[in-house]
């Protein structure tokens, strides 16, 4: 059973993630996943993915008229394939190793976010990007940086709306895949509902603080927090595996 302190900490973490996502455009999972994992692996990836559904829908709905439709089908196909591959991997991974997997994937996501690489906009690149995002999203709840890299040339409203749609649809498939391998059941649904207030608090506060946060420092802050917390998570996981 979740203690009150753990619930308050988890709610604060997802509120911070939602707030920084609105300010920097980076997926909240970069900081939410490692911090929640240090509280308890029961919070990830299922509850973390489910809690982001509402935020993703709101991002899409606000800019639904400017969604980038080019190569969207190829991207969704890649996402579905990546999710299926990740689900089969999750079936084989022991629970004790998940923290190490999450930590390593988060470090990879940070490196992807820092790269100046500009991906060519083709059906093939869209499909491959979708596969990578589906794998990372299902295994650790952090597929956003790969998608953001693909759409980085788009204007802000179109970027947020398109990513919101992709996050929402892929999250639904991820949850179905996690359920099929026994990683998203009644316990995880309950934990997801416990995270919703934190997500909404971060979304509600973000317009009031965005002009303070978005001065060129918020993205750096997200990446530094993600890198530090994932390093701690990797260290914790290695100690547990050795004990």
- Express each pLDDT in 28-62 by its tens digit: 777 888 889 889 989 988 999 998 888 889 888 98
Asked whether 158 and 68 are in contact (CB, 8 A), the reply is: yes
For the chain, how many structural domains are there in total?
Answer: 1
Regions of the chain with pLDDT less than 50:
none
Q: Model-level pTM greater than 0.85?
A: no
What is the sign of the dihedral through the CA atoms of 206, 209, 215 and 218? Answer: negative
Q: Is the peptide bond before 45 cis (omega within 30 degrees of 0)?
A: yes
Q: Residue 78 class from Cβ within 10 Å (0-12 exposed, 13-18 middle, 19+ buried)?
A: buried
If you search the block for the tokens 């999450």, which residue do you land on?
Answer: 102
Domain that holds residue 23: 4-242
Both tokens assigned to 51: 């809690």
């Amino acid at each position: 059973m979740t203690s009150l302190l753990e619930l308050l900490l988890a709610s604060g973490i997802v509120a911070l993630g939602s707030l920084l996502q609105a300010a920097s455009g980076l997926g909240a999972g970069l900081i939410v996943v490692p911090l929640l994992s240090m509280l308890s692996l029961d919070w990830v990836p299922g509850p973390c993915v489910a809690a982001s559904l509402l935020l993703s829908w709101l991002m899409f709905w606000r800019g639904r008229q400017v969604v980038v439709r080019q190569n969207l089908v190829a991207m969704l196909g890649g996402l579905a394939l990546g999710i299926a591959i990740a689900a089969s991997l999750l079936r084989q991974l022991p629970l004790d190793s998940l923290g190490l997997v999450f930590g390593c994937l988060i470090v990879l996501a940070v490196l992807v976010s820092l790269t100046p690489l500009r991906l060519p906009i083709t059906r093939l690149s869209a499909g491959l990007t979708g596969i990578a995002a589906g794998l990372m999203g299902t295994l650790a709840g952090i597929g956003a940086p790969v998608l953001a890299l693909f759409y980085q040339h788009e204007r802000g409203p179109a970027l947020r709306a398109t990513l919101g749609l992709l996050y929402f649809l892929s999250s639904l498939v991820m949850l179905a895949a996690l359920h099929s391998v026994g990683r998203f059941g009644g316990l995880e649904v309950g934990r997801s509902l416990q995270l919703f207030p934190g997500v909404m608090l971060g979304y509600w506060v973000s317009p009031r603080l965005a002009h303070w946060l978005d001065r060129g420092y918020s993205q750096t802050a997200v990446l530094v927090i993600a890198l530090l917390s994932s390093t701690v998570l990797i260290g914790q996981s290695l100690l547990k595996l050795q004990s």
